[in-house]
Amino acid sequence: MVRNASENVIGINSKNPHYFQYKGKEILLITSAEMYGAVIHKKFEYKKYLDTLHEYGLNYTRIYPGTLVEKSGMFLEGNNIAPGEHLIVPWARSDEPGYIGGGNKFDLDQWDDAYFRRLKDFLSYAANKDIIVEICFYNAQYPECLEYSPLYKDANIQGIGECDYRTYHYLDGDPRLVEAQLKYVEKLIVETNAFDNVIYEIIDEPTLFLCNALKVYNWISAMIDKVVEVEEKLSKKHIIAQQLEFGVDFSDDDRVALIVTQYIQMHKRQVGGIFALNNLYCYNKPIEINETALFPVWHDCDPVASSRLEAWEFMVGGGAGFNHLNGYFTVENPGGKNDISCKAFTNLKNLRTFMESFDYISMTRDIETIRKVSGATASINVISEKGKQYAMYVHHSMPNYGEIAGTYYMPAYGEYVPVITANIEKGCYKISFIEPETLRVIEERGLVSSGGEIEIACPRYSLDIAIKIIAE
């Protein structure tokens, strides 16, 4: 049996294991999130960030709590996971100068109480806004980032972390490093166990740099064991998540309750969301996309439309959680608001509204109802409770190409009027065609099915359309 959370803690829905529940009620996790440094950057005003999410009905965020620290200017300026001298992590500073990011080195024998006050305030404020926080203990160490990690030999006074960026997550590397990593996980769990709005994820991008996948797998397994061991002694149990990558697959591991993916398709060793829905839905676990292509830095087309396509496709295809990685949330602009970003927020808010207009907890991914769609470029995903309710999403796009191929969709605008051939159970239905960008109902009509294949002619649209079919 999959390890689930305690009552009221964010966990697996008791009626449908493909979704979450929180405080005894079903919940979808949909968000546009900052770059995971909200807690470790002392100058980042995280309350303004969380206020923006709440304003748009977005209810999910992620944080990296201290082992991955990026180099200043990496990916974008104002990146809050590159705090420089404003870095605060679980370990206290020593009296010895020489940390590459500025200030003194870290003392791994001493915890920083100020950090844990900040972490708990972040979690508490998020809880008051009904925002779920995914705490991701680790990320693969980028070659240019390793020396910024407090768990690197030159960053702490103990000299712990005799490794390179590939062996940082091996059990047979530096034994003192593994011991410090396990202590760090234990400390974070103990300090955050009281919070109901927390998910624990072990590591993002675990084999991104072509390290030994089996060794990383064994290291992750040891970290999972530590989470389970520590929480057995505590009052609350939280679900454990792990990102899927080639060579690292915990989909059938009962200790891991949440399958994590990134991007739309395949990027390097990373597995995309729709691939996971097609291949791993059978494990009866929630599946989430917890990172998309960095918005808007990586996009060379319409970023607002691109982010809408991937979010709607995944969630209307049976996903449980979606995180749109938003580079507009910066130290200078913690609320992330501008014309482009606010349109993206609205698209996600509309998605949540559309999904919650169904009794979605009674629905599952449906790959049988649709028999064909006219037009070579149409992509369609469906969830349904057959004979009662159907949610469909159709869009037209192609995956991006180049160095970051497969990370986002390039919208293919046109004039589309596809005909969908579907096998709908016998009955009378109301069908609504909805514009995802605005939630405007384009057309409504009755639909009568004799129990076999039926043709559904769509009204004209230019990029994407959502379809709602409800039995009358």
Q: Where are the beta strands (DSSP E) in 119-275?
A: 132-139, 198-204, 240-243, 258-261, 266-267, 270-271
pTM: 0.97
For residue 184, which of 149, 217, 208 has the smallest C-alpha distance? 149
Query: Do you know the residue count of the chain?
Result: 472
Per DSSP, 129 falls in state T
Q: Domains of the chain, with CATH numbers?
A: 11-361 (3.20.20.80), 363-471 (2.60.40.1180)
Structure tokens at 280: 């791993």
If 0-12 CB within 10 Å is exposed, 13-18 middle and 19+ buried, where does residue 339 land? exposed
Structure tokens at 351: 């998605």
Sequence-ordered alpha helix ranges (H) in 165-317: 175-192, 213-232, 273-280, 303-315
Tell me if 110 sits within 8 A of 37, measured CB to CB: no
Q: Which amino acid is at 21?
A: Q
Q: Which residues pair with 198 in a beta bridge?
A: 133
Tell me if 56 sits within 8 A of 345, measured CB to CB: yes
pLDDT in tens, the chain (472 residues): 678 888 899 999 999 999 999 999 999 999 999 999 999 999 999 999 999 999 999 999 999 999 999 998 888 888 899 999 999 999 999 999 999 999 999 999 999 999 999 999 999 999 999 999 999 999 999 999 999 999 999 999 999 999 999 999 999 989 999 999 999 999 999 999 999 999 999 999 999 887 899 999 999 999 999 999 999 999 999 999 999 998 899 999 999 999 999 998 888 888 999 999 999 999 999 999 999 999 989 998 899 999 999 999 999 999 999 999 999 999 999 999 999 999 999 999 999 999 999 999 999 999 999 999 998 789 999 999 999 999 999 999 999 988 888 899 999 999 999 999 999 999 999 999 999 999 999 999 999 999 999 999 999 999 999 999 999 9
Helix (H, G, I), strand (E, B) or coil at 182: helix
List C-alpha distances in Å: 418 to 17, 124, 200.
33, 48, 43
Q: What is the maximum alpha-carbon separation in the chain?
A: 79
The predicted structure's pLDDT at residue 1: 63
